[in-house]
Every structure is written in structure tokens, then in C-alpha cells.
Amino acid sequence: MSATRKSKGSIPKEQLMAEGELRRIADTVLRLAKSIGVAETEVHVDETISALTRFANNGIHQNVAEHTLNVSVRTQAEQRTARAITNRTDEDSLRAAIEASLSLAHSQPKNLNSLPMPGKQRYRGVSRFIKGTAALTPEDRAHAVKRACDLAVKKGQTAAGIFSSAQTQTAMGNSRGLFAAYRDTHAVFSITMQQGKAASWAKENAANVAAIDAQRLAERASDKAHRATDAQELAPGRYTVILEPAAVLDLVGFLFYDFAGTAVRDKRSCFNERIGKQVFGKNISIVDDVYHPLQLGAPFDGEGMPRERVLLVDRGVPRNLVYSRASAKAAKKKPTGHGFMLPNEYGEAPMNLVFSGGKSSLEEMIGSTERGLLVTRLWYIREVDPYEKIMTGMTRDGLFLVEKGRVGAAVRNFRFNQSILEMLRNVEMMGPAVRATGEEAFEMVVPAMKVRDFHFSEVTKF
Amino acid sequence: MWDLCTNSLETSKIRGASYADVRVMHLRQRDLTTKNGEVGTLAQSESIGLGIRVLANGSWGFASTDRLTRDGVAACAAQAVSIAKASALAKREDVVMAPEDAYVDSWQSPFRKDPFEIPLETQLALLLAADAEMRRVKGVTLTETDMQFRKIDSWFASSIGSRIHQSKVITGCGIVATSFKGDEIQKRSYPNSFGGQHALQGYELVESLDLLKHAPVVGEEAVALHAAAQCPQKTGTLILGGSQLGLQIHESIGHPIELDRVLGQEANFAGTSFLTLDQLNKLRYASDIVNVVADARLEHGSGLGTFAYDDEGVPAQCTDIIKTGQFRGYLSNRETAHLVGLKRSSGTMRTESWNRLPIIRMTNVSLLPGTSSFDDLLADTDDGILMETNRSWSIDDRRYQFQFSTEIGWEIKGGKRGRMLKNPSYSGITTEFWNSCDAICNREHWTLWGTPNCGKGQPMQTMGTGHGASPSRFRNVRIGAAFSKQ
């Protein structure tokens, strides 16, 4: 199914298919659907080649690779639509997927709000496929992991983490002549260093693996793990916190669906009856921008509509939402190119949030703090109250007391119960927005933040 | 399928593997949802492929492919061996596995009605009718329903001679009503939140739920919550409904007993565990009346953690986890069993799909029934709060400190259920909480709840787990901290 080329060894190195091959599969689906009289057909072809090396206890313990290809077919007739997905590309399997989609579609009542499929669109070009990332080998990953583990051994610490690389591509077309295609690469290095009961963590991701300095991340985690030993217990309460970008990301990432036009129409967004009001501080501005140089992602949505840059929050005031074609029609707005693949009940969401950020360095935030806490990352974040957007979760892998402008002793981890709306009214300083990566939200471009009166409700045992 | 398995095993051996196991899996899924009286998701998916795990040079490698040809699976096996040899460049020590016999067997999970044979019109009509019943309640602003059906066929073969075919049917179903009013969003779900109840059953599960009877109640309670009193902040007596207790078991017992976490293999992502090896057979995990097992056998029930063999070819077992309050056992695989000196794996290696490496997962981790009837439990409670149906869940990365909130609460006064409470929550430290358990309801109130969305591993895998529980009482629990301001 895929083209291959020989590497130095005897194992062929896998490559994504040529875009023309994806287009051939899509055209086959459209031709087969037309031949059996389907009124409208949409097809997505998605291919992924990925590999992930996992290490713990200073050695590799899991090491995996996969190559997947899925063909997803949506048919629509008489205001009824449904989807069927297969990972086989022979004509019999594609025909079976079309027929499964038709059978599902015919089983339901008409949806009077359904729209005909869109016609041909124009897209802005984005270039995010880096050959060096696609060419990364298991040996490359193993050597980088070994260097990090050697550092841990030298420091009397224990390393755990991942080094992964992936190349993905998607192509979509429909029976009205729309065609869109996109490919990118993605690499991640994440490391936890443990020293006794203490631990710290560092992680980066990028389209270009060369932008990730694995050893520098290992050194940063190692240094912080060393400083995280002998954590002292502080009383819960409200503290000034300096949130590193990963901590900011994993909290504000929970806002993304609230910006959906469908979520507001369904009255499950925290922005219900708050659009146009001063919800956040005046230093908070947020856009959704897939074209931002630090972002990844296709320049089209699940229906093939071009993604637009949308100003979501302007100086603390929610101004705009994102819309699929259906939610735009219901709200008498224009589609913004953020729709999910149909049919679905969630509509759309901005997947490329970019915060405006500020100019303060982390050191300046620390230097200006009389008493507060430096937070490396947050963990197991869940929504407690959907309208006030109260989130709960834990600090993890490095919580430090800041006193009189200096980072001091490590502190036992806290549980927080904090409204994101309140938090974004209490931001005193921000760093430049960076491409952040955590474990709770997908990657976004956010700054480090100094926030007053952050609410910690309980403390744990370490 | 067996030819593909044999071919890949042979290739791995030729390439230098000292051990290999291979899974061909065929997965079929159907998802149906409605929202506000209209069909939402209506989709079906099918995926088939092969994944092979090998030991070479003392290290693991895994590769997967959807190219189910002789050449395709041979290339995949060769890639797995190549990856294993790369792993050995940064290995700590050679992998050794606890011994296990070879098995040749075939197993089909029991079900009465194949959900894929029930007309879609029938399924959608039921969901739309339940949706309409909820929308009939004034004040309900959003209604949602869902059904999910899965069929999983797997062919497992290993280089020690096992050949195991297993076929499973899984069903899930639930309904939700949401009400937005003033400055709050309230929600009620049936029979559980986050997709309802899920089990290793056929369409008979859906029919047993009686959605149309419960839909109006769900709508009425969602609206009534706006006028209910706020759950107080205090330390007091807590009674948990069965589904919430199921999630409490999942988070504060099921995850910390995973040996891969205990041994640091999940330190970077899922976290570690407070249940260090020195705690086994010594820690008083819970009060005397608490007995917890990890049981994958069919006689425990048709749960999401029920199977005949795990994805490492080890037969389903029942393992004591907590016996009369004492910590007695871990979830293990063949590798970790050897590392800690166990004679045999407890049979908990599970994989989401053909393209994922099997990892240690919960099976059915269940609290065994106690002796109380629910009415007697309430009558015996002078002052407490009953909490039902999970709304949020969170626990630290070593599984000490947790906080849960539920959709609804009820005041218990003088042995009777009193007024409704909104925004209930409770929190605590795992062992303190389980040691405060002083009453567990009997088998009549015991349900094997399904948690369909347990995330673990990198790349992330989602797995279904089972948790049997009946309503239980806990003393001196911190209540209401989620909404505290200070």
C-alpha cells in the first residue's frame, strides 16, 4: 500500500504515499459512489507512519512503530447523512464502506437543517513536512535516549520518558469537486527525572526534530529534580503562582470548546450570555490561527472549508466564536473553517489557539514576587463547574516556593480548584507566547503567566 | 489468519527474535447519538491488521501493519526485530518473563442479541424517543443520547505454541439532560455519566435499561438542581452510589495496583504508585469489611474486563487485591511478575487494537458485596450525604490524594433521604478513605459497572474496565472542598 525505499540495512524505510496515490483512492470512492447512484459523497484518506521509543528506569522498555491508512466515506441523500470507515483500499472494501454509509443514512429521519456539500475551495499553503523528522530511525532515538539515561546515572537519578516521531497526511474530496490535501511531521521528546521521592519534567514538540534539544531537556529536568528533594508542606490557600507554559497550556486548553458556536447555541459554553462582556483581564487576547509559525494542522476543516484566523478574545472581551457551515447558518454568521467531520453533535472548535502573551521573562516574574509558588506542570485536570469554568487538578514534578524574588525550597504538591475565568482576570505578568506541550491539552501557543490568588484547596503526601 | 500469524512468527525467529507474540485483530464499531431530537453521530468503522511483539538481544520491539499479505507481515516482523535491536542499545538488563504454558483455544463472549443485527431504525427510534421524553421537561436546555456497539475478533499466536481466538461483543448506552439557568449549568445522566453503562453484552443491555421510564426523571432532576441547596463544606458521613463507587475503585485501587506503575515504567506519563513492593501483605489498605478482587473470569460477570485469555496468552484469573482490609496483590504481566518474584503473571496484558502494544490494564477490579440492604444503610445513618453519578474525577500521580464531584446529592437525616443537594464533592487520601468504610450493601444492589474510557500508555490507548460495586458508607470524609473559596 505504501511506497518504500531501501535504507542501509535490510529493513525498508517506510514513506508516506505520494499525494497522487491518496487522490487516486479518493477518486475511486467518488467513482464507485457515483456508479451506484449516490447523490453526494465525501471521502477522507488519512495515512500515519509513527514510531515511539519509551524509556524508564534508565533504559528503553517499549519501542513501537505503526503504519495506518483509513478511508472515511460520508454519503448524503434526501437530507440524510452518515459515515463509514475502513482501513482496506481494495475496491470491494471501498464499495462496502459506501454501502454501509448509505445503509446508516437511510435508517434515520430527514434532518431539515442539513446542507449540501461544499464545492471547490481555495486554501493557503502551509509547509510543515520536515524530511529530517520523517527520516528519524529507531537507532537515532535510542542514541538520544541513552545520552539522557547516562546523565541520569551520572547524577544518581532515574530517567523515564518518550522520544517519538510521526509523519501524517490527509486528503479529502467530495462529489462537488472539492479536493484538499495536507501533510506534516511531528516529533516529541519528554523526560521525567526522579531523585528519591522527588521528580521533575521537561517536554518539547515540533515539526522539525532538529528544533528539539533532547539533552538540554534532560539537563533541565535533572537540575529541577535535584532541587525538588526534601519538599516541605505548606498550608493550602490562595497563592501568587508563576505558571510555566506547560501549566498554562493544560489549564487554558480546557477553554477551546467553549469558543464553538454550537456550544454556545447548546448553552453548554462558559461564554453563554458573556460574549461582548469583560470576562478576562485587559491583558488577555486570544486568536485561533492555524497559519501561525508555531502551529501545526491542516488549513481546512472536516468539510473542506478553509480555516480562517479568528480573533476570539480582544483585550479580555470574548468577541467571536468559530463556526462550521451548519452552526454558521443557524447563527447567521459566516463559516470559519473549524467544523469537525460530519455527522457529529459537537459542531466545531478552534484547534490552534494562540495567546498574545507579554514581554516578561520567567526570571523577571520570579524577581518581582515577594512570596509565591513556581509551578512546573499540572496533572489530572477535570472540570468541576462548566459555567464558572472551575477546574481541579494537581501540581506535579516540581513545585517551588518563591520568596523575596528567589526560587527556594521544594513544596509538596497541591490540589487546586480554580476558575479559569477568574485566573485570566488575575494575570499580573506574561512571557512571550511559545509552542507549549503538556499532557492534558493539545499543543497551543501560550505564555508563562504570573497569577495572583490562585486557589489551592488541599495538599498531598509528596 | 493463522497463516499470517505463523508467517510473522517464523520471520521474527529467522531475524533473531528469542520470543514473539502476534495478534491479528478485526474491530467493528457502530456509534449512534442524538442531540435535541436530531441524529448526531451516525457512523460505523471497521479495521483489521496485525501487531507483533518480539524479544531480540534481550529487549522489546513492536511493529504493526494493515498489509495482510505474506510480504506485508514478514516486513512487519522484520521491522519489530530491528526495533528490538535498537532498544538493546539503551537497555538496562535483559527482559525475562515468568513461565507460562501454551494454549490452543477458542472463546466467544456470551450475548443474547447481536446489536449489529438489530435494525438501525429500531435503535434510533428508541434514542429519539428517550430524547423527546427528556425535552418534554420544561427547563431542559440540551438533551443527548448514545449507543455504541463493538465486535472484536482477535487471533493470538506466540512462539511458545499458543493459538487463541477470542470474539467479543460490547454494548454501551446512556442518556443525558442538561439545564442552563442563571449562572449555572446542571446535568443528570442515566444510567451513568460519560456514555452510560457499558458491558460485554449484546443489545439485551440496552433493553434492560428501560430508557423511556428514566428519561423524564433525568430531565426533572437536571432542572430541579438549580433550586437545590449547595452541598455544605464539612467533614462527615458519605454514602456513595454504586457507579460513583465504581470510579472511586478504578482510580484509588485499580491504578495503584498496576505493577508497571509500581516499577516506574509509567513515571513520565500515567505516574507511579504509593503501593511500593514493601507494602504487599503489610499495608492495611482498608477497613476489615473491604474485599477487592481483580477478576477477568466470566463467572465474575460480563464486564469490560472479562475475557478468556489476556493479550499475552495468559488465562483469565481472579486475584485477591484487598482481603479483609489487607493489601494482597498487584496486576502483573509475565515480565513484571518475574521482576517481583511472582510465579506467574496475573493475566492483565491488554491492547486496544492491532496497532498497539499490550500493556498492563485493569480487568474487573471489584468491591465484593457486603451485608446491608440499601434501606437498612440509610436507616442506620443519622446524618450524612448520599452522592450519585460522577461529574469530575482527579487524583495525584502516585494515587494518594483524590477529589470527585457528582451530579447530584441527597441529605440523609435521621435515617431518611431528605432534600436534594447540588454541586456535591468529596476528597481525601486513598488509604484513609478506604479505612473509613463501615458499611457495604449486599449483592442485590451490586452492579458490574463499565468504564469504557480508561487512558494509559504512549501512544495513548483507551481500554474498557469493569468495576463491581454496591452503595457503601464512609465516615469522616471531607465534603465540599471543590467549591471552597479559601
Closest-CA residue of B relative to A103 is B120
Q: Give the number of other Cβ atoms within 10 Å of residue A46's Cβ.
A: 17
Does B301 share its domain with B398? yes
Q: Is residue A419 domain-resident?
A: yes
Q: Do B86 and A460 touch (CB under 8 A)?
A: no
CA proximity to A345, closest of B216, B121, B32, B211 = B32
Does A271 share its domain with A138? no
The x, y and z cell numbers of residue A58, run together, are 534508565
- Rounded CA-CA distance A162/A180 in Å is 32
Contact criterion met (CB below 8 Å) for B43 and A82: yes
Chain B residues close to A60, C-beta within 8 Å: 59, 86-91
Does A113 share its domain with A13? yes
Does A203 share its domain with A235? no
Whole-number pLDDT of residue A9: 44
Whole-number pLDDT of residue A4: 39
Q: Do B65 and A113 touch (CB under 8 A)?
A: no
Whole-number pLDDT of residue A12: 59
User: Which whole-number Å values give the CA distances from B140 to A111, B219, B409, in the listed order?
Assistant: 22, 6, 19
Q: Do A381 and B60 touch (CB under 8 A)?
A: no
Does B102 share its domain with B168? yes
Number of domains composing chain B: 2
The x, y and z cell numbers of residue B190, run together, are 442515566
- Rounded CA-CA distance B64/B22 in Å is 9
The x, y and z cell numbers of residue B304, run together, are 469490560
- CATH number of the CATH domain containing B101: 3.30.2290.10
Residue of B42, B71, B251 to mutate, interface with A, max A Cβ within 10 Å: B42
Last residue of a domain, one of A162, A179, A209: A209
Q: Is residue A345 domain-resident?
A: yes
Chain A residues close to B38, C-beta within 8 Å: 111, 113
Does A239 share its domain with A173? no
Does B252 share its domain with B210? no
Angle at B28 between CA B24 and CA B34, to 5 degrees: 155
Last residue of a domain, one of A209, A240, A265: A209
Q: Do A461 and B35 touch (CB under 8 A)?
A: no
Which range of residues forms the domain containing residue B299?
A: 229-483
Q: How many residues does chain B have?
A: 486
Does A164 share its domain with A90? yes
Contact criterion met (CB below 8 Å) for B141 and B178: yes
Q: Is residue A337 domain-resident?
A: yes
- CATH number of the CATH domain containing A121: 3.30.2290.10
Q: Do A386 and B75 touch (CB under 8 A)?
A: no
Contact criterion met (CB below 8 Å) for B67 and B75: yes
Q: Is residue A224 domain-resident?
A: no
Does A13 share its domain with A80? yes
Whole-number pLDDT of residue B485: 78
Q: Do B268 and A191 touch (CB under 8 A)?
A: yes
Does B241 share its domain with B187? no
- Rounded CA-CA distance A437/B122 in Å is 44
Does B193 share its domain with B246? no
Q: What's the predicted TM-score (pTM) here? A: 0.97
* CB within 8 Å of chain B, chain A residues 324-383: 343-345, 379-383
Does B223 share its domain with B233? no
* A108 interface with B at CB cutoff 8 Å: yes
Closest-CA residue of A relative to B93 is A59
Whole-number pLDDT of residue A14: 80
Q: For residue B84, what are the contacts with CB-CB under 8 A and spacing of at least 6? A: A63, B17, B54, B55, B56, B57, B59, B60, B61
A389 Rama sector, left if φ>0, alpha if ψ -120 to 50, beta otherwise: left
Q: Do A68 and B79 touch (CB under 8 A)?
A: no
Does A192 share its domain with A259? no
Contact criterion met (CB below 8 Å) for A59 and A159: no
Whole-number pLDDT of residue A205: 96
Residue of A45, A58, A60 to mutate, interface with B, max B Cβ within 10 Å: A60
Q: How far is B415 from chain A (nearest CA, A)?
A: 29
Q: Is residue A108 domain-resident?
A: yes
| Residue B385, strand partner residues | B238, B411
pLDDT tens, per residue, chain B with 486 residues: 999 999 999 999 999 999 999 999 999 999 999 999 999 999 999 999 999 999 999 999 999 999 999 999 999 999 999 999 999 999 999 999 999 999 999 999 999 999 999 999 999 999 999 999 999 999 999 999 999 999 999 999 999 999 999 999 999 999 999 999 999 999 999 999 999 999 999 999 999 999 999 999 999 999 999 999 999 999 999 999 999 999 999 999 999 999 999 999 999 999 999 999 999 999 999 999 999 999 999 999 999 999 999 999 999 999 999 999 999 999 999 999 999 999 999 999 999 999 999 999 999 999 999 999 999 999 999 999 999 999 999 999 999 999 999 999 999 999 999 999 999 999 999 999 999 999 999 999 999 999 999 999 999 999 999 999 999 999 999 999 999 876
Nearest to A11 among B78, B87, B183 (CB): B78
Chain B residues close to A393, C-beta within 8 Å: 394
Q: Do A57 and B142 touch (CB under 8 A)?
A: no
Does B295 share its domain with B285? yes
* A127 interface with B at CB cutoff 8 Å: no
A200, containing H or E segment: strand A198-206
Last residue of a domain, one of B177, B196, B227: B227
Nearest to B267 among A146, A194, A415 (CB): A194
Whole-number pLDDT of residue B365: 98
Chain B residues close to A340, C-beta within 8 Å: none
Q: Do B63 and A64 touch (CB under 8 A)?
A: yes
Q: Is residue A325 domain-resident?
A: yes
Chain A residues close to B395, C-beta within 8 Å: 380, 394
Closest-CA residue of B relative to A189 is B268
Q: Do B45 and A84 touch (CB under 8 A)?
A: yes
Last residue of a domain, one of B227, B254, B286: B227
Does B457 share its domain with B409? yes
Does B213 share its domain with B244? no
Whole-number pLDDT of residue A13: 72
Chain B residues close to A225, C-beta within 8 Å: none
Does B207 share its domain with B251? no
Q: Is residue A222 domain-resident?
A: no
Instruction: Say which amino acid occupies A219.
Output: E
Q: Do A384 and B39 touch (CB under 8 A)?
A: no
Contact criterion met (CB below 8 Å) for B174 and B198: no
Q: Do B92 and A59 touch (CB under 8 A)?
A: yes
Last residue of a domain, one of B176, B200, B227: B227
Does A248 share its domain with A134? no
Q: Give the number of other Cβ atoms within 10 Å of residue B280's Cβ.
A: 16
Number of domains composing chain A: 2
Q: Is residue A225 domain-resident?
A: no
pLDDT tens, per residue, chain A with 462 residues: 333 334 444 565 789 999 999 999 999 999 999 999 999 999 999 999 999 999 999 999 999 999 999 999 999 999 999 999 999 999 999 999 999 999 999 999 999 889 999 999 999 999 999 999 999 999 999 999 999 999 999 999 999 999 999 999 999 999 999 999 999 999 999 999 999 999 999 999 999 999 999 999 999 999 999 999 999 999 999 999 999 999 999 999 999 999 999 999 999 999 999 999 999 999 999 999 999 999 999 999 999 999 999 999 999 999 999 999 999 999 999 999 999 999 999 999 999 999 999 999 999 999 999 999 999 999 999 999 999 999 999 999 999 999 999 999 999 999 999 999 999 999 999 999 999 999 999 999 999 999 999 999 999 999
Closest-CA residue of A relative to B276 is A197
How many beta-carbon pairs under 8 angstroms link A with B? 294
Instruction: Say which amino acid occupies A305.
Output: M
Q: For residue B192, what are the contacts with CB-CB under 8 A and spacing of at least 6? A: B174, B243, B389, B390, B449
Q: How many residues does chain A have?
A: 462
Q: How far is A359 from chain B (nearest CA, A)?
A: 31
Q: Do B141 and A266 touch (CB under 8 A)?
A: yes
Does A310 share its domain with A429? yes
* 3 state SS for chain B: CHHHHHHHHHHHHHHCCCEEEEEEEEEEEEEEEEECCEEEEEEEEEEEEEEEEEEECCEEEEEEECCCCHHHHHHHHHHHHHHHHHHHHHCCCCCCCCCCCCCEEEEECCCCCCCCCCCHHHHHHHHHHHHHHHHCCCCCCEEEEEEEEEEEEEEEEECCCCEEEEEEEEEEEEEEEEEEECCEEEEEEECCCCCCEEECCCCHHHHHHCHHHHHHHHHHHHHHHHHCEECCCEEEEEEECHHHHHHHHHHHHHCCCEHHHHCCCCCCCCCCCCCCHHHCCCCECCCCCCCEEEECCHHHCCCCCCCCECCCCCECCEEEEEECCEECCCECCHHHHHHHCCCCCCCCEECCCCCCCCEECCCEEEECCCCECHHHHHHCCCEEEEEEEEEEEEECCCCCEEEEEEEEEEEEECCEEEEEEECCEEEEEHHHHHHCEEEEECHHHCEEEEEEEEEECCCCEEEEEEEEECCEEEEEEEECHHHCCC
- Rounded CA-CA distance B404/B382 in Å is 23
Contact criterion met (CB below 8 Å) for A104 and A72: no
Chain B residues close to A113, C-beta within 8 Å: 38
* 3 state SS for A326-392: HHHHHHCCCCCCCECCCCCCCCECCCCEEECCCCCCHHHHHHCCCEEEEEEEEEEEEEEECCCCEEE
Which range of residues forms the domain containing residue A32?
A: 4-209
The x, y and z cell numbers of residue B446, run together, are 451490586
Instruction: Say which amino acid occupies A170.
Output: T
* A86 interface with B at CB cutoff 8 Å: yes
Q: How far is A342 from chain B (nearest CA, A)?
A: 8
Does A130 share its domain with A189? yes
- Rounded CA-CA distance B446/B438 in Å is 17
ipTM higher than the 0.90 cut? yes
Does A41 share its domain with A179? yes
Does A420 share its domain with A282? yes
Does B52 share its domain with B190? yes
Does B328 share its domain with B428? yes
Q: How far is B396 from chain A (nearest CA, A)?
A: 6
